[in-house]
C-alpha cells in the first residue's frame, strides 16, 4: 500500500509549516519519514543530512501517539528526556512554558488529557530544538489550552526555530503557519501561504443560515436566485457581500420562513480543502465526502 505518492516540499529555516488533512491523509507518515522513524523511498533531507543521520540534539518531535511511563511525575518525565541530550533546558522553565508549573509533581496518569498532551510537548522542547515536529499537538486540549500552545509555538518560531505542524484544525494552521501543504489520499494537492490559498481557491464570501425548516429556507433563497455551497452540515449561501446580507434576510421574510440566525463569513482553509478535494474535515479529524448541493 502506498501511503504517500509524489509528495515534494521544502521548509525554510525559521518557518512555520503546516501539513493539513484528515486522518489517513498521510500527515503522520510524512513526519515519520522526515524524522527518520520510518523508511521511505525518495530524497529526504533534514538539517542537511538523511533524516536518520541528522543531529538528534537539534531536533524535537511530538508524535501523535505517545505513551510515557505513567508513574513518573511531569517533572520526572521532562527530566528523563532532558537527560538524553548533551545540553537541555531547565525542567522548571519547560514546565512553565507549557503551563504545568503547578502540576509538576503530579504523576502522569493523574493528569487530565490536556495536561498529558502538554507534558508530552514539554519532552519535545527540553533540548531547545532548531527543528520541531508537532504531530497533532493540541489533540485533546481544551480551547484555552490550545491557545496557550499556539502562543508557545509562536514564541519558538519568533526565536528562530523551524516548526512543522500536522493538524486537522484549520484555525490552528492559519494561526501558526507561514505556509501550509494540503494532503489528501497521500498526495499534496496544494501548497502556499494560507491567505494565498484562500484567495485562489476559497471562493466568495457566504452566509450561513440557521432555520428550523432548512428545506423551506433553501427553496426561498433558490427562488430569489441564490446559489449554495455544498455542505451537509448547514445551509450556506454562496457569493454574498456584507452589504447584501439584508437581501438574504428579506428573501426569507418574504417567503414566511423563520430563521434563527444569519452568519456572514469569509472563506477559510476549510473551504479551500473542500473545494480542492470534495472532502470536509470533521472536528475528530475524520474525512467526510460532500456531494454537490
* Segment 94-129, tens digit of pLDDT: 999 898 999 999 999 999 988 998 999 999 999 999
Query: What is the per-residue pLDDT for 282?
Result: 67
> Residues 144, 149, 153, 158: is their CA dihedral positive or negative?
positive
Concatenated DSSP letters for 241-288?
-GGGHHHHHHHHHHTT--EEEEEEE---HHHHHHHHHSEEE-TTS-EE
- Every domain range in the chain assigned CATH 3.30.70.980: 199-289
Cell numbers standing for residue 105: 509533581
Please give the Cα distance from 189 to 172 (Å, whole number).
19
Q: Do the beta carbons of residue 175 and residue 16 sit within 8 Å?
A: no
Please give the Cα distance from 272 to 233 (Å, whole number).
17
The domain 16-193 having CATH identifier 1.10.3720.10: the answer here is: no
Say yes or no to pLDDT of 292 above 50.
no
> How many CB atoms within 10 Å of residue 22?
20
pLDDT tens digits along 167-200: 988 889 999 999 999 999 899 999 999 999 998 9
Concatenated DSSP letters for 153-219?
HHHHHHTT-EEEEEES-HHHHHHH-SEEEEEETTEEEEEE-HHHHHHHHS-S-EEEEEESSHHHHHH
Residue 153: partners with Cβ closer than 8 Å, 6 or more residues away:
16, 134, 137, 163, 165, 176
Say yes or no to pLDDT of 5 above 50.
yes
pLDDT tens digits along 38-50: 888 888 999 999 9
**Full-model pTM:** 0.83
- Every domain range in the chain assigned CATH 3.40.50.300: 16-193
Instruction: Please give the CATH architecture assigned to the domain spanning 199-289.
Output: 2-Layer Sandwich (3.30)
pLDDT tens digits along 201-255: 988 898 999 998 999 999 999 999 999 987 777 899 999 988 999 999 999 999 9
* 152 confidence band (pLDDT: 50, 70, 90): confident
Amino acid at each position: 500500500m502506498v501511503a504517500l505518492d509524489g509528495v515534494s516540499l521544502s521548509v525554510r529555516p525559521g518557518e512555520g509549516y503546516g501539513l493539513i488533512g484528515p486522518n489517513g491523509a498521510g500527515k503522520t507518515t510524512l513526519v515519520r519519514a522526515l524524522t527518520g522513524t520510518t523508511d521511505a523511498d525518495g530524497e529526504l533531507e533534514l538539517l542537511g543530512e538523511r533524516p536518520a543521520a541528522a543531529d538528534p540534539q537539534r531536533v524535537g518531535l511530538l508524535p501523535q501517539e505517545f505513551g510515557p511511563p505513567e508513574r513518573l511525575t511531569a517533572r520526572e518525565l521532562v527530566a528523563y528526556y532532558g537527560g538524553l541530550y548533551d545540553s537541555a533546558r531547565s525542567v522548571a522553565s519547560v514546565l512553565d512554558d507549557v503551563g504545568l508549573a503547578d502540576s509538576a509533581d503530579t504523576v502522569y496518569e493523574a493528569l487530565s488529557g490536556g495536561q498529558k498532551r502538554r507534558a508530552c510537548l514539554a519532552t519535545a522542547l527540553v533540548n531547545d530544538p532548531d527543528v520541531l515536529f508537532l504531530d497533532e499537538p493540541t489533540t485533546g486540549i481544551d480551547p484555552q489550552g490550545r491557545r496557550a500552545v499556539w502562543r508557545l509555538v509562536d514564541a519558538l518560531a519568533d526565536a528562530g526555530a523551524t516548526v512543522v505542524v500536522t493538524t486537522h484544525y484549520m484555525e490552528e494552521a492559519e494561526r501558526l503557519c507561514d505556509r501550509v501543504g494540503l494532503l489528501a489520499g497521500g498526495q499534496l494537492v496544494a501548497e502556499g501561504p494560507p491567505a494565498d490559498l484562500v484567495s485562489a481557491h476559497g471562493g466568495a464570501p457566504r452566509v450561513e443560515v440557521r432555520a428550523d425548516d432548512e428545506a423551506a429556507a433553501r427553496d426561498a433563497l433558490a427562488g430569489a436566485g441564490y446559489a449554495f455551497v455544498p455542505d451537509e452540515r448547514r445551509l450556506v449561501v454562496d457569493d454574498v457581500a456584507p452589504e447584501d446580507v439584508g437581501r438574504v434576510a428579506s428573501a426569507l421574510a418574504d417567503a414566511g420562513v423563520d430563521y434563527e440566525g444569519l452568519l456572514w463569513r469569509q472563506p477559510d482553509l476549510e473551504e479551500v480543502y473542500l473545494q480542492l478535494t470534495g472532502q470536509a474535515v470533521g472536528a475528530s479529524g475524520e474525512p467526510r465526502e460532500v456531494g454537490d448541493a
